[in-house]
Amino acid sequence: MVEPDYEIITKYTVNEHFSEAKIIRYHDQSERLYYISSEVGLNHKEKVALDKLKKIISKELKPPENKEVKPDKYLVEQTDFFVKKYFKSLGKLSEESIEKVKYHLVADLIGYGPLNVIMDDPQIEDISCNGVNMPIYVWHKEFESIPTNIRFTSKIELNNFIVKLAHKAGKHISSAHPVLDGMLPENHRLAATFMEEVSPKGSTFCIRKFRKDPISIIDMINYGTLNERIASYFWLLLESKMNLMIIGGTGAGKTSLLNAIISLMSLNTKIVTIEEVPELNPSLTNWTQLTSRQSFKFGSRDQNQNITLFDLVKISLRYRPDYIIVGEVRGEEAYVLFQAIATGHGGLCTLHADGVDHVVKRLTSHPMNVSPIYIPLMNVVLHVERVKIPGEGSVRYARRIRNIWEIREFENYNPVATWNPRNDEYETFFDSSFLIRNMAEKLGKDADELLDEIDRRARFLRSLREDSIEDQSDVAEKILDYTMMTRNEHELDEPLMMAQSKDELKEEVL
């Protein structure tokens, strides 16, 4: 039980009828705590029934005939059958007790046991364990990094849990192979170490949770990561197959922003995504997904060959994509990506850096080794960062695009947008954009016409926000409708361009 000397900051239901989470703070401490306060417990009779059911299921459960059925649904159906079959020997449980037992059965056998509530909580982005007898830490969307009231108190218990996670990820972990990087069935990213081979405090793990509903560009605008005008600028760049690089530190939101920018592409665009662990989830159908693979070494021979990002970028050229999208460039794959861009393919990627100068230094150094003459091929670099947003009486954290640069030449960068931390607003300088002038020249237009088009698209995106059209697939469909409407027009549609109100815009575009 929670001690009485605490303050409840917030509480909410995670799993209806079964679990509730509280964010609390003890009066003598400033640190907040994520507390699973009311996960349904079992009395002695129910615990005995649960143990018996596990033994029965281990002996009698058969694989489902329908391979498409969800494991948790199938387990619940079979549990109902076994409860009826062994009703007396299980202690003649009440309906309420049966539901409680089924909840724990699914959590223990298919779910994540002691972490089941945290895994089900949509407010949690990241879960990490640093060793035995240490609190599990979570990254909460509102309260960020906070400890929980959960900890593994036994090395055996933690080791067994790590092995279970490895099996769920379809991987192997042991003293011989004590490091694991994989993907859980729900597409959550898993990193783990086993026993004390490489982590002196014992087994560790970190789970980065994957959103079921991909973040759209409208979501990003709602979060304040960018505004409609900047999104429209990106939209125009992608139509002209310009190349973008997103930079920032760990946890800055680079991958999420990349996924959102992809939603600005036409649904007919052909893309190839290349990642070490699949995190991108675009709504495009003409999408080839490639992931790297590490070899397993036994003795002195490799049983399988490494498939690196470098190999995958080379292979991707055979697919003739409109865009090659690399989740994160770290090494020699950067060289091949720039070669692909030089041959006419579009390129999107992320890279760890905190400024355009550092980006260029990394790209032109080992192991990337990109020639300085190729640097301008990456047309735009945008820096996203986790920042403090001053508020009334408190400070909150958010992710913002701090700066956007167009790369004119090597060591010649043109800033076109910046974030003002004083008022949490964006300042754009698209009038000075040389990329817009180049696009206008190729299209036989004036730069002012494209600037007006950016404004028109910004109004269009604002209308989607006002109509609460936020789902990535819905946003992509609306963008396709807009693109198809204007694709065959040699000149911008004047009535649409002059539309000032939301109602006029929706009537003419939507």
DSSP symbols for 47-79: HHHHHHHHHHHHHH----SSTTS-HHHHHHHHH
User: Contact, 213 vs 263, CB < 8 A?
Assistant: no
Q: What is the pLDDT of residue 215?
A: 86
Residues 184 and 264 reside in one and the same domain: no
Query: Is 99 domain-assigned?
Result: yes
Domain ends where: 146, 181, 208? 208
Query: Is 385 domain-assigned?
Result: yes
The SS3 assignment for 38 reads coil
Residues 26 and 163 reside in one and the same domain: yes
Q: What is the pLDDT of residue 395?
A: 67
Provide the strand spans (E) within 256-364. 271-275, 287-291, 297-298, 301-302, 323-326, 346-352
Tokens of 332: 């020699």
User: Contact, 104 vs 39, CB < 8 A?
Assistant: no
One-letter amino acid for residue 414 of the chain: N
Exposed / middle / buried, residue 55 (Cβ in 10 Å: 0-12, 13-18, 19+)? exposed
Cβ within 8 Å of residue 425, ≥6 positions away: 227, 419
Q: How far is CA 433 from CA 243, 376, 413, in A?
A: 15, 14, 11
Domain ends where: 191, 208, 225? 208
Domain ends where: 377, 406, 427? 427
Query: Is 439 domain-assigned?
Result: no
Q: What is the pLDDT of residue 490?
A: 42
Residues 76 and 156 reside in one and the same domain: no
Residue ranges making up the domain that contains 404: 217-296+303-427
Residues 327 and 385 reside in one and the same domain: yes
Exposed / middle / buried, residue 113 (Cβ in 10 Å: 0-12, 13-18, 19+)? middle
Q: How far is CA 386 from CA 21, 249, 389, in A?
A: 26, 8, 10
DSSP state at residue 91? T
The SS3 assignment for 362 reads helix
Cβ within 8 Å of residue 109, ≥6 positions away: 54, 57, 75
Query: Is 477 domain-assigned?
Result: no
Look up the pTM and report it.
Answer: 0.80
Q: What is the pLDDT of residue 436?
A: 97
Task: Tell me the C-alpha distance between 421 and 74, whole Å.
Answer: 52
Task: Tell me the C-alpha distance between 247 and 402, whole Å.
Answer: 10
User: Contact, 138 vs 153, CB < 8 A?
Assistant: no
Residues 221 and 290 reside in one and the same domain: yes
Task: Tell me the C-alpha distance between 276 and 168, whole Å.
Answer: 18
Q: What is the pLDDT of residue 144?
A: 84
Classify strands 323-326 and 271-275 as parallel, antiparallel or unpaired: parallel
Residues 282 and 337 reside in one and the same domain: yes
- Rounded average pLDDT per 10-residue block, the chain, 510 residues: 70 83 82 72 85 90 83 85 87 86 86 90 93 93 89 95 93 91 89 93 92 87 96 95 95 92 89 90 90 64 71 92 94 92 94 94 94 96 91 75 96 96 94 96 93 96 94 88 69 40 44
404-432 in b/e burial notation, b at 16+ Cβ within 10 A? bbbbeeeeebbebbbbeeeeeebebebee
Residues 282 and 258 reside in one and the same domain: yes
Residues 238 and 260 reside in one and the same domain: yes
Task: Tell me the C-alpha distance between 76 and 61, whole Å.
Answer: 12
Task: Tell me the C-alpha distance between 324 and 269, whole Å.
Answer: 11
Query: Is 432 domain-assigned?
Result: no
Task: Tell me the C-alpha distance between 454 and 472, whole Å.
Answer: 21
User: Contact, 203 vs 191, CB < 8 A?
Assistant: no
Residues 244 and 269 reside in one and the same domain: yes
Q: What is the pLDDT of residue 345?
A: 93
Query: Is 486 domain-assigned?
Result: no
Structurally, the chain folds into a number of domains equal to: 3
Classify strands 19-26 and 6-15 as parallel, antiparallel or unpaired: antiparallel
CATH assignment at residue 250: 3.40.50.300
Query: Is 445 domain-assigned?
Result: no
User: Contact, 263 vs 281, CB < 8 A?
Assistant: no
Q: What is the pLDDT of residue 326?
A: 95
Strand partners, 181: 191
Residues 404 and 342 reside in one and the same domain: yes
DSSP state at residue 312? H
Residues 420 and 317 reside in one and the same domain: yes
Task: Tell me the C-alpha distance between 348 and 337, whole Å.
Answer: 9
Residues 166 and 248 reside in one and the same domain: no
Angle subtended at Cα 152 by Cα 147 and Cα 158, rounded to the nearest 5 degrees: 125
Query: Is 494 domain-assigned?
Result: no
One-letter amino acid for residue 220 of the chain: M
Task: Tell me the C-alpha distance between 371 and 364, whole Å.
Answer: 6
